[in-house]
Amino acid sequence: MTHRRREAEPDTARRAPAEAAGRRGTGRRGGALWEFLGMTLAAGGLCLAVLRPELLEAVVDTLAATAAGLAH
């Protein structure tokens, strides 16, 4: 199968590839930090759910009560 090269639009030819795709050229350092913090939070929550099942039940009850209060 032959792949044909597409001609770039004239205004995107001078931009960097990241900008040409519609992304900002700010880098990904901040995104990696947020991803790490989110994974740490998820891992901590999983550990708490395994080590303290009664805490998991309390969190579920609190979330259910809050959702019921918002829906009412």
68 closest CA partner among 58, 56, 45, 60: 60
Residue 41 pLDDT > 60, yes or no? yes
Confidence grade of residue 19 (pLDDT, cut at 50, 70, 90)? low
Q: Is residue 50 part of a domain?
A: yes
Q: Is residue 41 part of a domain?
A: yes
Domain that holds residue 36: 28-71
Tokens of 24: 């900002």
Residue 5 pLDDT > 90, yes or no? no
The larger pLDDT score, comparing residue 28 to residue 46, is at 46
Task: Tell me the mean pLDDT in the region 40-55.
Answer: 92
Q: Are 50 and 43 in contact (CB under 8 A)?
A: no
Q: Is residue 32 part of a domain?
A: yes
Q: How many domains does the chain have?
A: 1
Is pTM beyond 0.95 here? no
Residue 24 pLDDT > 70, yes or no? no
* Residue 21 identity: A
